Amino acid sequence: MKKIAFSQIDNLLAAIAATQKLYMPVETAGQYNYGEWTPGTTYNPDVLHTVKSAKSVFFPQSEDLIRFKRDGMNLSISPVAPEDEDFVVFGVHACDVKGFAVLDRVFLYDPVDAYYTSRRKHGTIFSVMCKAPEETCFCGAFGIDATEPGADVDSWIADDALVMRANTEKGEKLLESLGSLLTDCDDTAADQAKAETKEILGKLPLADLNTNGFGKDVDLLTLFNRPEWKELASGCLGCGTCTYVCPTCQCYDVRDYNTGKEIQRFRVWDSCMYSDFTMMAHGTNRPDHTQRFRQRFMHKLKYYPDRYEGVFGCVGCGRCLQKCPISMNIVKVMKKLGGEA
């Protein structure tokens, strides 16, 4: 275990940023999102959730893939190379760390996503345990221990210090590079901080939420055909906000943009809640709004666990509970269809 006085955290961040890019929660217009550290950026330990999750560092909302340019009869095609510089993402909480495990199963395996894979290879994740989980948090329902995020480096704010432990080779390399900024310590302060957070987690309103009624052991068609989907979907605006703030949603669209000088082919986050999602020449696969609504929740609670050894496609971060304009969310779906109306 290593530690640094919390008053020295800006020095820690500056030392990391001196050798590689550093992403962390950054405030812009009163909202926190992951952005690049610049001199003067400080870490605010009181901010629990960024609006968009840390997913945006590895899978950006929009990124260029290929550029096409025509010059007379010549056509040049220039693929945009995946990013290959090392970087650190600081301040990630357990839910977002586990969100990467959900994305990894999709993007790291055949067909491999070169852009995401390269960022995962070059990125070191530095978690900070959440000190004050909110009433919308329910990571425990999916078996996630908020006090042990399992990032390359895990850290805990305890006794006016940031106490940290490397879990991987990348994490060890990062802590070694910080040299004399860090001092050795034992587990006592971190254990105390974990116990305090566990106590808060145990008292949260969603502490007893469970996944009964979902997962790979329930019958797919029975869940799919439940009549309650229609009522649950009835108020949903199809705005897609829930998918944009979600650390595990992974749908995207690929589009071309004519700049007047060249064509930029880029990919951009998409949402299964949209009526034109995966639109094809014959139309859309899910013309009815209830079908689109059901797809989002079936994917997280049934299709994903069916495909990936029972692992759920939700990490209980609670962002969709906070941001949905009509207060519809995955917890209401789990309660209604799981039997606890």
Q: Please list every residue from 142 through 181 that binds ligand SF4, using CB under 6 A.
A: none
3-state SS class at 250: coil
Residue 272 burial (C-beta neighbours within 10 Å; 0-12, 13-18, 19+)? buried
Verify binding: residue 140, ligand SF4, rule CB under 6 A.
no
Phi, psi of 178 (to 5 degrees): -90, -5
User: Which residue bears the tokens 């006592």?
Assistant: 188
Span from 41-49, 191-199, 233-241, 303-311 in contact with ligand SF4 (CB under 6 A): 233-241
User: Which residue bears the tokens 């977002």?
Assistant: 96
Give the helix, strand, coil percentages of the chain, each rounded to 5.
35, 20, 45
Q: Please list every residue from 271 through 300 that binds ligand SF4, using CB under 6 A.
A: 273, 300
For the bound state, the minimum distance from the C-beta of residue 213 to ligand SF4, rounded and expressed in Å, comes to 16
Question: Sign (positive/negative) of CA torsion 164, 167, 171, 177?
Answer: positive
The DSSP bridge pattern shows strands 252-258 and 31-36 to be unpaired
Span from 35-43, 193-201, 219-227, 321-329 in contact with ligand SF4 (CB under 6 A): 321-329
* Binds ligand SF4 (CB under 6 A): choice among 146, 166, 236, 272: 236
Verify binding: residue 314, ligand SF4, rule CB under 6 A.
yes
Cβ contacts of 315 within 8 Å, gap of 6 or more: 95, 96, 98, 99, 102, 139, 142, 144, 247, 248
* Binds ligand SF4 (CB under 6 A): choice among 155, 197, 248, 250: 248
Span from 64-72, 73-81, 126-134, 313-321 in contact with ligand SF4 (CB under 6 A): 313-321
- What is the total count of residues that contact ligand SF4 (CB under 6 A)? 25
Verify binding: residue 239, ligand SF4, rule CB under 6 A.
yes
Q: Could you tell me the two tokens for 181?
A: 């900024």
Residue number, 174 or 236, with CB nearest to ligand SF4: 236
Residue number, 239 or 251, with CB nearest to ligand SF4: 239
For the bound state, the minimum distance from the C-beta of residue 299 to ligand SF4, rounded and expressed in Å, comes to 10
Residue 102 burial (C-beta neighbours within 10 Å; 0-12, 13-18, 19+)? buried
Residue number, 94 or 129, with CB nearest to ligand SF4: 94
Cβ contacts of 310 within 8 Å, gap of 6 or more: 215, 216
Verify binding: residue 242, ligand SF4, rule CB under 6 A.
yes
For the bound state, the minimum distance from the C-beta of residue 224 to ligand SF4, rounded and expressed in Å, comes to 18
* Binds ligand SF4 (CB under 6 A): choice among 144, 320, 333, 337: 320
Residue number, 45 or 238, with CB nearest to ligand SF4: 238
Cβ contacts of 140 within 8 Å, gap of 6 or more: 146, 201, 207, 209, 316
Phi, psi of 35 (to 5 degrees): -145, 175
For the bound state, the minimum distance from the C-beta of residue 258 to ligand SF4, rounded and expressed in Å, comes to 30
For the bound state, the minimum distance from the C-beta of residue 273 to ligand SF4, rounded and expressed in Å, comes to 4
C-beta separation of 250 from 59 below 8 A? yes
For the bound state, the minimum distance from the C-beta of residue 241 to ligand SF4, rounded and expressed in Å, comes to 4
Give residues in contact with ligand SF4 (CB under 6 A). Answer: 236-242, 245-248, 273, 300, 314-320, 324-326, 328, 330
